[in-house]
Copies of this chain bind each other. A is one copy, B any other.
Amino acid sequence: MKPPDPAKLSLNTATTRGKWGLAQAIEGCARHGIRGISPWRDLLHAMGVAKAARAIRAHELTVTGHCRGGMFPAPDARGRKRAIDDNLRAIEEAHALGARCLVLVVGGLPKGSKDIAGAREQVKDGLAAILPHARQAGVPLAIEPLHPMYAADRACVNTLSQALDLCDALDPAKGGALGVAVDVYHVWWDPQLERQIRRAGRKRLLAYHICDWLVPTTDLLLDRGMMGDGIVDLHCIRAWMEAAGYAGFHEVEIFSAKNWWRRNPDSVLEICKARHRRFG
């Protein structure tokens, strides 16, 4: 398979969060010729939105996604309202950054609840509430299905199929305001992956995140691997994405407390580039 275009590499700041704030990540991307970046909100707030937007523009980086909105379910109406307000702020930030999408990790079960069907309804309601604002701001919302091991505490949308059902229900005209973020870590195992990527199509494939699944995986959250170190067939999944019309960035997002977060981020970026070329 043809190697990916190096100009499509993007850095999700989760990958360097052990060492770098957002300003350093922006400078790092510029220094290493990485053309895309995806900031996390805590780092963005620490730097300041206006300052970050200026620095990103100065280096002509593409903001491939803003991480993240979502977290809709809550035990009561007040909590759900608070979540929606926070999502509206995230939309404003994404707009200020010129982000290609706002990535949504939709949230899991409200505290004390065992009602996952109910949580999923709350997610749908939350999405419906913020979608008009996202449309108005010109910020597409990218629902990110998370691996089923996060269903209880992070996201009760766990397959691409489920995410696309939400898109069909809330944006049947495929206007481009609602779509999905495909992160290989979360979906690589799904027997329906190829079919659902095809179903999503160009209009709903808003982001593509890469890393690798390690064997063994020693932590549910913070043990993701660098491309090539695990068992995900990234060539295969990229081929499916491209066949479906996706032409966007390949965003490296690696949570790795024991390995990559401890390393010198400049060397991490060099390795990201090399691995992207070889395995991406």
Interface on A for B, CB 8 Å cutoff?
109, 113-116, 120, 147-149, 151-153, 156, 158-159, 162, 188-191, 213, 215-218, 220, 230-233, 236
B158-A217 in contact (CB<8A): no
Bound together, the chains give a CA A23 to CA B198 distance in angstroms of 54
A224 to chain B, nearest CB (A): 13
Q: Give complex CA distance A230, B149 in Å.
A: 14
- Across the interface, name the chain B residue whose C-beta is closest to A153: B215
A189 and B116 within 8 A (CB)? yes
- Tell whether, in the assembled complex, residue A162 and residue B148 are in contact, meaning their CB atoms are under 8 Å apart: no
User: Is the beta-carbon distance between A151 and B220 smaller than 8 angstroms?
Assistant: no
Q: Which residues of B contact A220 (CB under 8 A)?
A: 149, 216-218, 220
Residues A217 and B149 in contact, CB atoms below 8 Å apart: yes
* Contacts A/B (CB < 8 Å), 14 sampled: A109-B215, A148-B190, A149-B149, A149-B217, A151-B188, A151-B189, A152-B189, A152-B215, A152-B217, A153-B216, A158-B191, A216-B220, A217-B220, A218-B220
Q: How far is the CB of A72 from chain B (nearest CB, A)?
A: 16
Is the CB–CB distance between B158 and A116 below 8 Å? no
A6 to chain B, nearest CB (A): 22
Smallest Cβ-Cβ distance to A186: which chain B residue: B148
Please name the 9 residue pairs, one residue from A and one from B, whose CB atoms are nearest each other, closest first. Answer: A151-B189, A114-B233, A149-B149, A148-B189, A152-B215, A152-B231, A148-B148, A114-B231, A153-B215
A188 and B113 alpha carbons, distance in the complex (Å)? 14
Q: Would A232 and B189 be within 8 Å (CB), given that A147-B149, A149-B148, A215-B152 are in contact?
A: no
A156 to chain B, nearest CB (A): 8
Q: List, in ascending order, chain B residues with CB within 8 A of A156's CB.
A: 189
- Please tell me if the beta carbons of B116 and A233 are within 8 angstroms of each other in the complex: yes
Question: A220 to B151, alpha carbons, bound, how many Å?
Answer: 14
Per the bound structure, the CA–CA distance linking A116 and B190 in Å amounts to 10
Q: Are B191 and A113 in contact (CB under 8 A)?
A: no
Nearest-CB residue, chain B, relative to A221:
B216
Note all chain B residues with C-beta closer than 8 A to A162. Answer: 191
